[in-house]
Amino acid sequence: MSYQLVVNGRAHQIEEDGQTPLLWVLRDTLHLTGTKYGCGIAQCGACTVHVDGQPMRSCSLPLEAAAGSQIVTIEAVEGPEADALRAAWVKRDVPQCGFCQSGQIMSAVALLRVKSIPNDDDIDQAMSGNICRCATYNRIRAAIHDAAGSSSSPANPA
Amino acid sequence: MSWRHGFRSARPARRRRRIGCLPLLAIIVAVIVLVAAIALRPRALPQPQSIAAAPPKSEVTHLRPVASFASIGDPQARSLALFAEAGRVIQHPRCMNCHPRNDRPTQTNAMRPHVPWVSRGPDGAGEPTLRCSTCHHAANFEASGVPGNPEWKLAPIEMAWQGTSLGEICRQMLDPARSHMDRAALLHHMAEDELVGWAWHPGGTRSPAPGTQAEFGALIKAWLDSGARCPA
């Protein structure tokens, strides 16, 4: 069956089974490989993308449910939160192996858009579904604090 | 010549066979390796394992039909018996997992805390920063094994069931201040609510609640009609 998918602002006509996970479409059909396959069962968060602004695990979202939504991947996420997080990630040298980091950043962007100055509990809660096997959690948390202090999100005060 | 001969006689020849340490060590190591290899050799070759073509079907268990309670003459005893039978559903993990005693749902038949750590949030569907819809969608998704329903959310904390008795659950259900339902709404919730109905169609290898939602609804209706008695 054919589904229209809007990814990073571009419309695509996808000829796949409706039960295909969005992650496969992104990686294998659209070749957007920045979104990673980690566990395939929505336990690790490596495949996180934004669907209509909400962070979602693309391994657990069927194509037929994603059709018609605005999907943003790590390749195109932008805005003050994304810019601030990118700078903080570099400054803190957050990644170790890096495999989980695109999912971490997508969740962190979504967090800062909801809560511009999160405390430790907010960060732990929002990021609890993103696992890092290198255990860079302290650097991730510090980088989010850094980004929260430097990004401007006037629409979403803490 | 004699001097040389005499010298040799004074110091008898001692023919030493000089064997270095390394060959000895090599022999010892080889013996140890040989003994270990014999001792640790596999007793049976690994056998190939086949993956099941389909997940095992969960066993379906039935509920007693309402008609079978007609033989109980005492209305109070009949009401209690009806609720005890309905309690097999109410206290099933498919239902209890969404009625936790705190803000964190549980999962699996073992009712372990939900992984990852999530919290009910203001509307029972997760915190604004980590909604249930991050992973759970409108339907069970077999590819990831993640269950789903359009109304996926927790019961209100006033309706915490875990850690309470069936009698206490019964009294909660009948208390509109805690259940936020009158009896008609309670019957609808049990007999027709789609999210409750998920318990009989949980997908994957999850064991469904006993019987069917229709059978369960009939038990609840009969229990309400018989005076809605609660166990102690």
Interface of A with B (CB under 8 A): 19-21, 40-43, 45, 54-57, 59-62, 65, 110-111, 114-115, 118, 122, 125-126, 128-129, 131
Helix (H, G, I), strand (E, B) or coil at A14: strand
How far is the C-alpha of B2 from the C-alpha of B98, rounded, in Å? 111
Residue of chain B whose alpha carbon sits nearest to that of A38? B144
pLDDT digit string, tens, across residues B35-45: 998 888 776 66
**Residue from B198, B171, B187 nearest B93 by CA:** B198
Is the CB of residue B125 less than 8 Å from the CB of residue B132? yes
- pLDDT at B207 (0 to 100): 95
Residue with more model confidence, A121 or B4: A121
The DSSP-derived string for chain B is -HHHHHHHHHS---------HHHHHHHHHHHHHHHHHHHHS-SSPPPP-PPPSSPPPPPP--PPPGGGGTT--SHHHHHHHHHHHHHHHHTSHHHHTTS-SSSS-EETTTTEEPSS-----TTSSEETTEEGGGT--SS-BTTTTB---TT--PPPGGG--TTS-HHHHHHHHT-HHHH---HHHHHHHHHT-HHHHGGG---TTPPPPSS-HHHHHHHHHHHHHTT-----
pLDDT 10s digit of each residue in chain A, 158 long? 899 999 999 999 999 999 999 999 999 999 999 999 999 999 999 999 999 999 999 999 999 999 999 999 999 999 999 999 999 999 999 999 999 999 999 999 999 999 999 999 999 999 999 999 999 999 999 999 999 987 644 444 43
Is the CB of residue A94 less than 8 Å from the CB of residue A136? yes
Nearest C-alpha of chain B: how many angstroms from A90?
Answer: 24
Chain A hits for B137, CB-CB cut-off 8 Å, are: 60-62, 65
With CB atoms and an 8 Å threshold, state whether A41 touches B145: yes
What does the buried/exposed string (b/e) look like for B18-57 if buried means 16 or more CB atoms within 10 Å of the residue's CB? Answer: eeeeeeeeeeeeeeeeeeeeeeeeeeeeeeeeeeeeeeee
How far is the C-alpha of A121 from the C-alpha of B149, rounded, in Å? 29
With CB atoms and an 8 Å threshold, state whether B129 touches A19: no
With CB atoms and an 8 Å threshold, state whether A129 touches B138: no
Nearest C-alpha of chain B: how many angstroms from A10?
Answer: 23
Q: Tell me how many residue pairs between chain A and chain B have CB atoms under 8 A apart.
A: 71
Chain B hits for A126, CB-CB cut-off 8 Å, are: 127, 129-130
Is the CB of residue A151 less than 8 Å from the CB of residue A116? yes
Whole-structure pTM value: 0.81
Residue of chain B whose alpha carbon sits nearest to that of A131? B116
Nearest C-alpha of chain B: how many angstroms from A120?
Answer: 13
- The interface predicted TM-score (ipTM) is 0.92
DSSP run (H or E) holding A6: strand A2-7
With CB atoms and an 8 Å threshold, state whether A54 touches B133: yes
- Closest Cβ opposite residue A59 in set B117, B128, B144: B144
- Closest Cβ opposite residue B137 in set A40, A61, A114: A61
How far is the C-alpha of A132 from the C-alpha of A49, rounded, in Å? 17
Residue with more model confidence, B8 or B156: B156
Helix (H, G, I), strand (E, B) or coil at A139: helix
Nearest C-alpha of chain B: how many angstroms from A137?
Answer: 15
